Amino acid sequence: MSILQQANSSDRKRIAILRALPMEELLCIVPALRALRAALPKAQITLVGLPECTAFVERFPTYLDDFIAFPGFPGFPDQTPNIAEFPFFLVEMQNLNFDFAIQMQGPDCSANSIISLWGAKSCAGFYVRGGYCPDETQFLEYPEHESEIWRHLRLMEFLDIPPQGDEPEFTLYDEDWKSLSQLQKDYDFQKNYVCIHPSCRPAQYFADIADGLAARGYQVILIGSHAEAHLTNEVAQHIQAQAINLAGKTRLGSLGALISQAALLVSHDTGISLIAAALKVPSVILYSESESFAWESQNKNLHKFVQQAPQVSAVEVLTQAESHLKELGTYAY
- At 196, the pLDDT band (50, 70, 90 cuts) reads very high
- At 148, the pLDDT band (50, 70, 90 cuts) reads confident
Measured at the CA of 224, the angle between CA 237 and CA 293, to 5 degrees, comes to 115
Task: Taking residues 238-261, report their average pLDDT.
Answer: 93
243-245/264-268 β-pairing: unpaired
- At 270, the pLDDT band (50, 70, 90 cuts) reads low
148/104: higher pLDDT: 104
Question: Which amino acid belongs to residue 22?
Answer: P
Task: Cite the beta strand spans of 78-214 per DSSP E.
Answer: 100-103, 122-127, 139-141, 193-197
Q: What residues does 100 pair with on adjacent strands?
A: 15, 122
Sorted by sequence, the CB contacts under 8 Å of residue 296 that are 6+ apart come out as 147, 285, 303, 305
Q: Is the pLDDT of residue 9 over 70?
A: no
Q: Percent of the chain at pLDDT above 90?
A: 60
For residue 140, give the 3-state DSSP assignment.
strand
Q: What is the pLDDT of residue 259?
A: 95
Question: Which amino acid belongs to residue 257?
Answer: A
The residues of the chain that CATH labels 3.40.50.2000 are 3-158, 174-328
Q: Taking the model in full, what pTM does it have?
A: 0.85
Within 13 A of 13's CA, how many CA atoms are on the CB side? Answer: 24
- At 127, the pLDDT band (50, 70, 90 cuts) reads very high
Q: Lowest-pLDDT range, 96-105, 189-198, 222-231, 300-309?
A: 300-309
Chain segment 286-328, per-residue pLDDT in tens: 876 655 555 555 555 677 777 666 677 888 888 888 888 888 7
Q: Which CATH superfamily is domain 3-158 in?
A: Glycogen Phosphorylase B; (3.40.50.2000)
In the chain the first and final C-alpha atoms are separated, in Å, by 60
Spatial distance between the Cα atoms of 165 and 30, rounded to a whole number of angstroms: 10
219-222/193-197 β-pairing: parallel
Q: Lowest-pLDDT range, 9-18, 203-212, 258-267, 324-333?
A: 324-333
Q: Which CATH superfamily is domain 174-328 in?
A: Glycogen Phosphorylase B; (3.40.50.2000)
